[in-house]
Amino acid sequence: MDIQQSFTSVAYPQANGQVEVTNRDIVARIKAHRTTPKDRINKTPFNLVYETGAVISAEVLVPTNRIITFDEQQNDEALRENLDALEERRTIAHIWQPEKKQKIANQYDKKVKPLNFQLNNLVLRSNEASRQQDVRKLGPRWEGSYKVVGITDYGACHFETPDGISIQRP
C-alpha cells in the first residue's frame, strides 16, 4: 500500500515534509487558476479562501493608498455581496464537477493498455498481487506461471497453479 512512516516531534512539524507538501499543493492550485497577468497578482491563498485581498501588517504601520482610501461601510457591503454569491459559486462548481472528473478519468484511461486473456492462457502474476511479505527490492517481481480458469464480466481473471490449486484473489 506504499505506506511510509516518518517520525517528527511536536515542536518541529516541518520535519516530516508536511509544510513543503502543503505549500506545493497551494502553489499548484494557484497556478491552475492563473489566466491573465492581473489574476497572477490577485490569486493568493487568502484570496482563494476569502475572495478578498489581505492587508499585511506593514500596510497598517505605513499608510498606503489602500489604507487611506479604506471605507468600512463599502467593505462590509462588498463582503455581504460575496457571501450572497457564495451559493451561486457552489452551484456552478457542483455543475462542473462531473465534467472535471470525466476529464481526469479520460486522461488516466489514455495510459491504460487493455489486456485480453483467454481461458487456459498461461500468465505471470505480480508479487504485489499476492502480497508476499518476503519479497524485497532484489527479489523477483513476478510469480507463476498460472493458468486462466475464469474471466468475470469486469475483466478480472481467476487463476490456478499447474497443480490445479485455485488462487484466491482474482
Q: What's the grid cell of residue 48?
A: 482563494
d(CA 98, CA 89): 15
Rg of the chain taking only CA atoms, in angstroms: 28
Do the beta carbons of residue 142 and residue 126 sit within 8 Å? yes
Listed by start position, the domains of the chain span 13-111, 114-170
d(CA 83, CA 92): 15
Question: What is the predicted pLDDT for the residue at 160?
Answer: 92
Tell me which of 56 and 159 has the higher pLDDT: 159
Do the beta carbons of residue 124 and residue 144 sit within 8 Å? yes
pLDDT at 149 over 90: yes
Q: What's the grid cell of residue 77?
A: 457591503
pLDDT tens sequence across 92-134? 888 889 999 999 999 988 888 877 888 999 988 887 755 655 5
Q: What is the CATH number of domain 114-170?
A: 2.30.30
CA dihedral 67, 73, 75, 80 (to 10 degrees): 170
- In the sheet with 122-126, reading across from the earlier edge strand, the strands are 122-126, 142-151, 157-160
Tell me which of 42 and 90 has the higher pLDDT: 90
Q: How confident is the model at residue 147 (pLDDT cuts 50, 70, 90)?
A: very high
Question: What is the predicted pLDDT for the residue at 152?
Answer: 86
Mean of the per-residue pLDDT values for the chain? Answer: 77
Tell me which of 64 and 12 has the higher pLDDT: 64
pLDDT tens sequence across 9-46? 556 555 556 777 777 888 777 777 665 555 555 566 77
